[in-house]
Amino acid sequence: MTSPTEPTTQTGPTTMGADPTALLATLRRSAGRGGMLLALLLAVAFFQITTNGVMLKPLNVTNVFLQNGYILVMALGMLLIIVIGHIDLSVGSVAGFLGAIVAVLMVSAGLDPLVAVVLTMIAGGLIGAWQGFWVAYLRVPSFIVTLAGMLLFRGATLWMLGGQPVGPFPESFRAISSGFIPELIGTIPDPFGTGLPPIAIGPIVLPIGGGPLQLTTLLIGVLLSVVVVFLGSRARAEQIKYGFAVPSMRQFWLRNALIIFGIMFLAYRLAGYSGLPIVALVAFILIGAYMFLTLRTVLGRRVYAVGGNAKAALLSGVNSQRMVFLTFVNMGVLAALGGIIIAARFNSATPKAGYGFELDVIAATFVGGASAYGGVGTVAGTVIGALFFGVLNIGMGVMSIPIDYQFAIKALVLLVAVYFDVSSKNKDS
């Protein structure tokens, strides 16, 4: 059985360097997590160079969240599906169908946006329950069930919309995807906005300076940095308490310094445009909730237990069928939220909404370190994977790469990510 934090055994002292076996295991885990973050940084650096410094402008940093918020949201549900040992190919079609439902409820039925959103989320849970029932209790392979669901809900979307877009929507609904949190404190002048030239680090150009900075967004960045350090320190103390190998304090603080720098740089760029997007705030809340679920709850540990070894979990008293069923219900609800975000973004529900989104969501999860064999994967890794694909989408858009090439590039990234997972598994066996 593999836990969300992935340490499973300890054969020596609690600090690195004492036991070669424990040291090697810790270094391999750290390399895996560092590799994901390094891939994200390399992608940002590549697009920053090839776009002549355009990639890191405040507008494009903001668009990473505005245009790809659905990936962050739905990847969290896909993580649990993959960890428990299954797959969901229908998420794009389900999101498109549920986006059509919320549109029809608001435009055709005239319902209040809040009521329409709640009913759509309930519909998403019912769709997840339908697919989860087939997988968990009727034991039909999830690949087949969700492939059928992909075709079914794609057709249902065409039927629901009559082949025509439905919109526009009220401004309060559109704010879900295109709005920003209100500035509660005030603004300050950008200290780098005094005519200073961009910073050049080799071939990488970092544009600095901009408009007034939103203090609320900067404060959120500071608070998030404090939370990251606190949770990291607490997790490290617990690992030492229970005898797990941990990195040295120097490595711990170096890693946290890099994370804090990344958070504050991101907050700085967002604050220089219009502040924190509402969709990003929703995603951050969900990320925190799912981190707590996977790391601190019995339910989360049971999901990993079933994915790591379903028979052993069953013998331990875990209801494997119920766990599988609940993960699909969860995926349905998050697909509904993703569909709502997509519809709000485009101010209409279209027959082709959600097309190809399953590739982004599944690929983000695998690139983030989830194993094709189940039982392995973290929320933090999935977030990095989702941000990687967000950067990839924005960067290729800025470079005006045709959509067919974009699909091909993302498919190759997914293939390479799964190859490394399979290769690592074969070496361990």
pLDDT tens figures, 385-396: 888 888 888 888
Contact by Cβ (8 Å): 368, 390: no
- The answer to which of 143-147, 196-200, 391-395 has the lowest mean pLDDT is 196-200
Per-residue confidence (pLDDT) for residue 290, from 0 to 100: 92
- Domain final residue pick, 275, 308, 332: 275
- Domain final residue pick, 275, 305, 330: 275
Question: Residue 274: which residues within 8 A CB-CB, separation 6 or more?
Answer: 62, 180, 214
Evaluate if residue 210 carries a pLDDT over 70.
Answer: no
Task: Note whether 44 and 189 are same-domain residues.
Answer: yes
CATH number for 98: 1.10.3470
Task: Note whether 310 and 421 are same-domain residues.
Answer: yes
Task: Note whether 31 and 89 are same-domain residues.
Answer: no
Classify residue 200 as exposed, middle or buried by CB count within 10 Å of its CB (0-12, 13-18, 19+): exposed
Task: Note whether 173 and 314 are same-domain residues.
Answer: yes
pLDDT tens figures, 306-354: 988 888 888 888 889 999 999 999 999 999 999 999 999 988 888 888 8
Task: Note whether 94 and 173 are same-domain residues.
Answer: yes
Task: Note whether 256 and 212 are same-domain residues.
Answer: yes
Q: What is the C-alpha to C-alpha distance for residues 119 and 112, in angstroms, rounded to an integer?
A: 11
Mean pLDDT of 11-24: 42
Mean pLDDT of 220-241: 85
Residue 246 lies in a domain: yes
Evaluate if residue 30 carries a pLDDT over 60.
Answer: no
- The answer to which of 196-200, 250-254, 279-283 has the lowest mean pLDDT is 196-200
Range ranked top by mean pLDDT from 131-135, 250-254, 363-367, 423-427? 131-135
CA 48 to chain centre: 22
pLDDT tens figures, 100-120: 999 999 998 889 999 999 999
Q: Can the peptide bond before residue 351 be classed as cis, meaning omega within 30 degrees of 0?
A: no
Evaluate if residue 16 carries a pLDDT over 50.
Answer: no
DSSP label at residue 369: T
- Among the listed residues 267, 258, 268, the one whose alpha carbon sits nearest the alpha carbon of residue 232: 258
Task: Note whether 210 and 232 are same-domain residues.
Answer: yes
Residue 9 lies in a domain: no
Backbone angles phi, psi at 349, to 5 degrees: -105, 130
pTM over 0.95: no
Q: What is the C-alpha to C-alpha distance for residues 319 and 296, in angstroms, rounded to an integer?
A: 19
Q: Residue 214's beta-bridge partner residues?
A: 187
- Domain final residue pick, 216, 242, 275: 275
3-state secondary structure of 188: strand
Task: Note whether 255 and 270 are same-domain residues.
Answer: yes
Residue 156 lies in a domain: yes
Per-residue confidence (pLDDT) for residue 25, from 0 to 100: 44
Task: Note whether 287 and 255 are same-domain residues.
Answer: no
Task: Note whether 84 and 174 are same-domain residues.
Answer: yes
CA atoms within a 13 Å half-sphere pointing along the CA-CB vector of 169: 35
Q: For the CA atoms of 315, 317, 331, 394, what is the dihedral angle to 10 degrees?
A: -60
Angle between helices 379-398 and 20-50 in degrees, nearest 10: 20
Task: Note whether 21 and 138 are same-domain residues.
Answer: no
Contact by Cβ (8 Å): 224, 263: yes
Q: What is the C-alpha to C-alpha distance for residues 29 and 21, in angstroms, rounded to an integer?
A: 13
Evaluate if residue 149 carries a pLDDT over 50.
Answer: yes
227: containing domain: 15-56+180-275
Per the structure, how many domains does the chain have? 2
